[in-house]
């Protein structure tokens, strides 16, 4: 045991003593790089005196610098958690103290303690409201993240592939060699095809110094809202990437746990909030990002087996294999679908589109482009703010449909599925959808929902605040619409939303 480790053992014993925290009970949590001491409403995180290929905390000076870096990196994400860097000091009599006047013998990050059972990895379900808030939180964090040069990150991606291959080959009993070879071949093929797109993303400012470790265990529910914490501070390059690569870690984690609806909501909300239409073109890289995130997680999980207790090894092995299967299944996505959901106001178009999207491959489900949201964006107002009648002229509506169809076309051209949610009562609008599908080299699939007037009136009269401005007068006026020849699949939407979803899935 070296001197640094001996000194830390003394500090850790001191921090584990309730007397050091005013008598509060202490809980200690150890990771490979840090020890956290939870007492009362405070958490103290101390970097362990370790050195790995990817981090070096072997000296007191380096640990202090790492604490300061972690505070600087994480405060923008979670100012309510990260308080300060504090010294563990020794006075002339040899006694240790937290933030004392003596000589610093260790450094810690002082944080507000939150309920550690309320990190999102501990939740079996993530409801629509929380998923929506999560998408907003990630988009807001990325909006503040600084843009950086893309070239070093692009080069690093290839090294990640090399490292994954080497790790998987070293464990042939855990990872089938033929499956390893197939994943490596497909991953490198995807990477080589994507390099020009990734470089272009860098020029657009979409490669940023982000969170870097955005899985469910690093997101806490505090005061009812999701808060990102524990971003990577020890290596800016590891924390760097396309914003969609950062997002992909979270989407992969959700999908791998079977939380596909939540993943799709996060995904769609993020794309709306990012207000960057070029992110739709960037979806061409999403399968590679999802696969790489899962492959790295498989490698990291497998590395725990050797140090684990015998009774834990089977569960860890199964988890590593599951991540590997996820990586293999996502690297070569299926052909995307171009879907439109039409119908008069109150037929349940938006609810169907949201419900259908998680079931439309590839992961994490279809991008939903909603005309009501596009109209609000066009006028630069919030989704639930009401527009005047002048915003619903024929000319404005044509612009809204053109924008929605162009976004959907870009999504499908990037290899992802899209659902356009709009009334589509005018034959010209449906013809525009067919033309957009042809431009994306795919077959249009149109669903038109139908329900009687009484059902529609009841629905528009009782729905909560929503992007749609349609009310009972609009619903009544739509009864006079001439739909013309309708070659889309008609869906009876007079029943429950679950019944409508079932009919729509059968039709597709």
DSSP string, 217-285: GGEEEETTEEEE-----S-HHHHEEEHHHHHHHHHHHHHHTT-HHHHHHHHHHHHHHH--THHHHHGGG
pLDDT digits (tens, 9 = 90+) for 278-327: 999 999 999 999 999 999 999 999 998 988 899 999 999 999 999 999 99
> According to the model, what pLDDT value does residue 4 have?
77
Residue 127 shares a structural domain with residue 255:
yes
> According to the model, what pLDDT value does residue 6 have?
81
Residue 254 shares a structural domain with residue 319:
yes
* Least confident among 4-8, 243-247, 350-354: 4-8
pLDDT digits (tens, 9 = 90+) for 465-503: 889 989 999 999 999 999 999 999 999 999 999 999 999
pLDDT digits (tens, 9 = 90+) for 138-159: 999 999 999 999 999 999 999 9
Average pLDDT taken over every residue of the chain? 95
- Percentage of the chain modeled with pLDDT above 70: 100
> According to the model, what pLDDT value does residue 7 have?
84
Residue 421 shares a structural domain with residue 472:
yes
Q: Per the structure block, which two tokens stand in for 73?
A: 């990196």
CATH of the domain at 170: 3.90.1200.10
Residue 313 shares a structural domain with residue 165:
yes
> According to the model, what pLDDT value does residue 363 have?
97
Q: What is the average pLDDT across 93-105?
A: 93
Rounded Cα distance, 277 and 286, in Å: 15
Q: Say if residue 3's pLDDT is above 80.
A: no
Strand 240-242, strand 418-421: pairing: unpaired
Q: What is the average pLDDT across 242-258?
A: 97
What pTM did the predictor assign? 0.93
Nearest to 210 by CA among 296, 143, 293, 287: 143
Q: Say if residue 191's pLDDT is above 90.
A: yes
Rounded Cα distance, 366 and 337, in Å: 8
Rounded Cα distance, 151 and 166, in Å: 23
Residue 318 shares a structural domain with residue 455:
no
pLDDT digits (tens, 9 = 90+) for 396-447: 999 999 999 999 999 999 999 999 999 999 999 999 999 999 999 999 999 9
Q: Say if residue 230's pLDDT is above 60.
A: yes
Residue 297 shares a structural domain with residue 344:
no
Residue 126 shares a structural domain with residue 91:
no
CATH of the domain at 500: 3.40.50.300
Q: Are the C-beta atoms of 403 and 374 separated by less than 8 Å? A: yes
Residue 292 shares a structural domain with residue 417:
no
> According to the model, what pLDDT value does residue 296 have?
96
Q: What is the average pLDDT across 203-211?
A: 96
* Least confident among 15-24, 27-36, 102-111: 27-36
> According to the model, what pLDDT value does residue 307 have?
82
Show which of 113, 133, 158 is a domain's final residue. Answer: 113
Residue 28 shares a structural domain with residue 133:
no
Show which of 64, 79, 113 is a domain's final residue. Answer: 113
Residue 153 shares a structural domain with residue 299:
yes
Number of domains observed in the structure of the chain: 3
> According to the model, what pLDDT value does residue 54 have?
79
Residue 312 shares a structural domain with residue 393:
no
Question: Peptide bond preceding 125: is omega within 30 degrees of 0, i.e. cis?
Answer: no
**CB under 8 Å to 384, separation ≥6 — which residues?**
465, 466, 467
> Rg of the Cα trace of the chain?
26
Show which of 330, 365, 381 is a domain's final residue. Answer: 330
Q: What is the average pLDDT across 355-367?
A: 97
Q: Is 130 helix (H, G, I), strand (E, B) or coil?
A: helix
Q: Say if residue 167's pLDDT is above 80.
A: yes
Q: Say if residue 1's pLDDT is above 60.
A: no
Q: Say if residue 127's pLDDT is above 70.
A: yes
Residue 239 shares a structural domain with residue 132:
yes
Range of the domain at 18: 3-113
227 forms bridges with which residues in the sheet? Answer: 220
């Amino acid at each position: 045991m070296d001197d640094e480790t001996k000194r830390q053992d003394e500090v850790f014993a001191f921090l584990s003593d309730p007397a050091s925290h005013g008598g509060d009970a202490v809980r200690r949590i150890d990771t490979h790089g840090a020890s956290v001491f939870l007492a009362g409403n405070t958490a103290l995180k101390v970097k362990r005196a370790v050195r790995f290929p990817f981090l070096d905390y072997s000296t007191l000076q380096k640990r202090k610098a790492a604490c300061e870096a972690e505070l600087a990196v994480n405060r923008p994400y979670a100012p309510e958690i990260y308080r300060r860097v504090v010294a563990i000091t020794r006075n002339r009599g040899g006694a240790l103290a937290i933030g004392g006047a003596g000589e610093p013998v260790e450094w810690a990050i002082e944080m507000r303690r939150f309920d550690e059972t309320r990190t999102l990895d501990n939740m079996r379900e993530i409801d629509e409201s929380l998923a929506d808030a999560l998408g907003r939180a990630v988009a807001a964090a990325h909006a503040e993240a600084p843009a950086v040069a893309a070239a070093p990150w692009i080069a690093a991606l290839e090294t990640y592939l090399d490292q994954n291959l080497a790790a998987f080959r070293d464990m042939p009993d855990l990872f089938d060699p033929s499956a390893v070879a197939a994943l490596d071949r497909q991953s490198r093929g995807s990477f080589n095809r994507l390099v020009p797109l990734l470089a272009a993303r860098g020029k657009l400012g979409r490669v940023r110094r982000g969170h870097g470790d955005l899985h469910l265990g690093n997101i806490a529910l505090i005061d009812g809202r999701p808060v990102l914490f524990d971003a990577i501070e020890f290596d800016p390059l590891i924390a760097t990437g396309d914003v969609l690569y950062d997002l992909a870690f979270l989407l992969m984690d959700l999908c791998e746990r079977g939380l596909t609806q939540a993943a799709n909501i996060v995904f769609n909300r993020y794309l709306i909030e990012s207000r960057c239409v070029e992110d739709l073109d960037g979806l061409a890289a999403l399968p590679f990002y999802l696969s790489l995130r899962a492959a790295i997680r498989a490698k990291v999980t497998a590395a725990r087996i050797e140090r684990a207790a015998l009774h834990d090894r089977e569960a860890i092995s199964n988890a590593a294999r599951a991540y590997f299967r996820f990586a293999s299944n996502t690297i070569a996505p299926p052909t995307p679908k171009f879907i439109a959901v039409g119908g008069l106001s109150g037929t349940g178009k938006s609810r169907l589109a949201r419900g259908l999207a998680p079931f439309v491959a590839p992961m994490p489900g279809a991008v939903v482009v909603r005309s009501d949201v596009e109209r609000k964006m066009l006028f630069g107002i919030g989704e639930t703010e009401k527009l005047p009648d002048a915003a619903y002229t024929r000319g404005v509506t044509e612009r809204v449909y053109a924008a929605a169809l162009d976004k959907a076309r870009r999504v499908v051209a990037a290899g992802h599925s899209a659902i356009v949610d709009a009334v589509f009562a005018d034959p010209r609008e449906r013809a525009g959808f067919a033309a957009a599908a042809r431009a994306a080299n795919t077959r249009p699939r149109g669903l038109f929902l139908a329900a009687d007037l009484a059902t529609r009136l009841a629905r528009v009269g009782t729905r909560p605040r929503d992007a749609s401005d349609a009310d009972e007068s609009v619903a009544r006026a739509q009864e006079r619409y001439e739909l013309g020849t309708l070659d889309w699949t008609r869906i009876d939407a007079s029943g429950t939303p679950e019944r409508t979803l079932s009919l729509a899935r059968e039709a597709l």
